[in-house]
């Protein structure tokens, strides 16, 4: 058989495997499979290896038949799985329709300036001392509220969270032990934004904000708070896409679970599987945080292929190089000129 026919046969019966059309291991001596002069695969010289493989298959079949009665009915299992997936999809749709707002306020314990970023409207606005009540009303109109130390901040603003979902954007893990001697790294939100979104100075210094407030310099105060809100937005969206945020410091490069992401919300893995099953491509933004005005300006079209190691799916750019999933800032399914993806 041709290598392509063999791999297609296995593909139809196994979701993950290590077989490849250009497999070099069949060219070694005493291989159970031999590559003929015409490139086709045929039974090799090592008959013992072939017989051992056949015996293993027979043993597996006997074991499967022996335990078949103890397994649940496949039809019932499939129906249960489908019902569970429908429930997840319905909940994901409900979550996607929720309105979301992110808050950056200063000072946090007694806010005199509040920047609100409406994710659905893709709009950010700052409210100063005489406009705080308007900010409260705006917050109350949303289903999901996110901020650093979100509960204390809402108390300071006089907003009752009620039944709203709260997205805590403070570090989900406060510290990290670096070595056996007990050296500890203190993890901050700024550090996680830098690691996830590649932003050098994502949040303004309290000292500068105090100066702006004391000197009534409202223009730079607004600019800084709105820039901070946008940094929190990119961080929040990165967490939604990956289900985690990235901690990079020195030799460390690891993912930390994002507590504001519900398990039913679709992320990058979902989009990759969807694109692979449909035979379509993905548009992605890789590297640093995307621009605010035109977030897809740096988009790249990539294909989704089986990981060379045989497990999972890999993003391959137009030059043929694999993209590190952790570097992806935005992703959406590309279908001609129409696209869908993680908002």
φ, ψ (nearest 5 deg) of residue 93: -65, -40
Tell me: pLDDT of 338 over 90.
no
Find the mean pLDDT for residues 248-269: 92
* Higher-scoring residue by pLDDT: 180, 244: 244
User: Which band of pLDDT confidence, cut at 50, 70 and 90, is reported for residue 340?
Assistant: low
* Higher-scoring residue by pLDDT: 102, 5: 102
Copy the structure tokens of residue 126.
Answer: 């700052």
DSSP string, 237-248: HHHHHHSEEEEE
pLDDT by residue (tens digit) across 150-170?
999 999 999 999 999 999 999
Copy the structure tokens of residue 108.
Answer: 């946090």
User: Which band of pLDDT confidence, cut at 50, 70 and 90, is reported for residue 27?
Assistant: low
Single out the residue of 230, 245, 323 nearest to residue 284, CA to CA: 323
Tell me: pLDDT of 339 over 60.
no
> What is the predicted pLDDT for the residue at 309?
65
Question: What is the model's pTM?
Answer: 0.78
Say what percent of the chain tops pLDDT 70: 92
Give the count of alpha carbons within 13 A of 69, CB side only: 1
User: Which band of pLDDT confidence, cut at 50, 70 and 90, is reported for residue 25?
Assistant: low
Q: Choose the weakest-confidence range: 58-72, 113-127, 175-189, 240-254.
A: 58-72
> What is the predicted pLDDT for the residue at 26?
67
CA distance 224 to 104: 10
φ, ψ (nearest 5 deg) of residue 5: -65, -40
Copy the structure tokens of residue 178.
Answer: 């670096």
User: Which band of pLDDT confidence, cut at 50, 70 and 90, is reported for residue 24?
Assistant: low
pLDDT by residue (tens digit) across 168-179?
999 988 888 888
Which residues 6+ apart lie within 8 Å of 234 measured at CB? 193, 196, 197, 199, 289, 290, 329
Calculate the average pLDDT of the chain. 88
pLDDT by residue (tens digit) across 216-239?
999 999 999 999 999 999 999 999
Rg (CA), the chain: 27
> What is the predicted pLDDT for the residue at 53?
80
> What is the predicted pLDDT for the residue at 130?
87
Say what percent of the chain tops pLDDT 90: 63
Find the mean pLDDT for residues 28-44: 73
CA distance 10 to 254: 34
CA distance 218 to 136: 20
> What is the predicted pLDDT for the residue at 342?
55
> What is the predicted pLDDT for the residue at 120?
95
Copy the structure tokens of residue 195.
Answer: 């690691």
Find the mean pLDDT for residues 305-328: 88
> What is the predicted pLDDT for the residue at 8?
85
Pairing of strands 165-168, 144-147: parallel
DSSP label at residue 163 = T
């Amino acid at each position: 058989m041709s290598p392509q026919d063999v791999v297609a046969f296995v593909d139809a019966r196994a979701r993950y495997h290590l077989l490849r059309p250009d497999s070099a291991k069949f060219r070694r001596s005493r291989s159970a499979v031999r590559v003929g002069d015409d490139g086709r695969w045929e039974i090799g010289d090592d008959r013992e290896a072939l017989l051992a493989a056949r015996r293993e298959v027979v043993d597996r079949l006997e074991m499967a038949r022996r335990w078949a009665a103890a397994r649940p009915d496949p039809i019932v299992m499939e129906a249960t799985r489908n019902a569970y997936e429908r429930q997840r999809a319905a909940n994901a749709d409900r979550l996607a329709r929720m309105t979301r707002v992110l808050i950056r306020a200063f000072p946090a314990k007694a806010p005199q300036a509040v920047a609100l970023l409406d994710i659905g409207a893709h709009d950010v606005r700052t409210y100063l001392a005489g406009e705080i009540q308007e900010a409260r009303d705006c917050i109350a109109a949303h289903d999901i509220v996110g901020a650093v130390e979100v509960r204390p901040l809402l108390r300071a603003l006089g907003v009752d969270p009620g039944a709203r979902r709260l997205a805590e954007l403070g570090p989900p893990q406060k510290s990290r032990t670096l070595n056996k001697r007990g050296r500890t790294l203190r993890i901050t939100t700024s550090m996680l934004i830098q690691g996830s979104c590649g932003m050098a100075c994502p949040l303004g210094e309290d000292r500068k904000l105090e100066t702006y407030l004391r000197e009534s310099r409202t223009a730079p105060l607004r600019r800084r708070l709105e820039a901070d809100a946008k940094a929190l937005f990119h961080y929040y969206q990165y967490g939604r896409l990956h289900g985690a945020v990235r901690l990079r410091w020195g030799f460390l490069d690891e993912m930390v679970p994002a507590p504001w992401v519900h398990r039913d919300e679709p992320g990058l893995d979902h989009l990759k599987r969807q694109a692979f099953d449909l035979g379509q491509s993905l548009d992605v933004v890789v590297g640093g945080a995307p621009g605010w005005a035109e977030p897809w300006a740096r988009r790249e079209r990539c294909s989704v292929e089986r990981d060379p190691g045989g497990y999972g799916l890999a993003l391959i750019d137009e030059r043929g190089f694999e993209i590190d999933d952790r570097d992806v800032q935005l992703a959406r399914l590309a279908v001609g000129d129409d696209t869908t993806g993680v908002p």
